Amino acid sequence: MTNSELSKYKSVLEAKQTDLTRLVRNREGIVIKTSPDALDEVQHATDREMAIGNLVRDSNLLRNVRRALRDIEEGSFGVCLHCEEDINPKRLAAVPWTPFCIQCQEIADRSQVDGVDNLDELLVGAA
């Protein structure tokens, strides 16, 4: 990958990092609200559940964005974290923070576990 490509990815990732940091810091949606109205309570609980879901998703994404930025610094950007093959440039252009090539991602998605930590275990289980 050329330096100009790398710096382009870096600025995309930095912008994403700024966005996500702001979203993750905003905890307003997960504050427990009480209401004398039972229906309101149900609505609050639903909203809160959704806000927590978003927060988990954004935190995971932020972790991937930070890792990608670190990879750029260390010169290992664009390499699949699992199989160590180059990630397809089209995939990288669409999701520059992805830690995996498409094959490894499919295995991770099938297992429906979001996160890098368990992937090795999952892949061992899938083999």
For residues 20 and 100, which CB has a smaller minimum distance to Zn ion in the complex?
100
Tokens 């993750």 belong to which residue?
A: 24
- Smallest distance, Zn ion to C-beta of residue 102, A: 8
For residues 83 and 95, which CB has a smaller minimum distance to Zn ion in the complex?
83
- Smallest distance, Zn ion to C-beta of residue 71, A: 14
For residues 30 and 123, which CB has a smaller minimum distance to Zn ion in the complex?
123
Q: Which pair of tokens denotes residue 61?
A: 């994404």
Taking the C-alpha atoms of residue 82 and residue 118, their distance in angstroms, rounded to an integer, is 11
Tokens 């879901």 belong to which residue?
A: 53
- Smallest distance, Zn ion to C-beta of residue 100, A: 5
Taking the C-alpha atoms of residue 66 and residue 69, their distance in angstroms, rounded to an integer, is 5
Q: Decide: helix, strand or coil at residue 27.
A: coil
Q: Which residues bind Zn ion (CB under 5 A)?
A: 80, 82-83, 101, 104
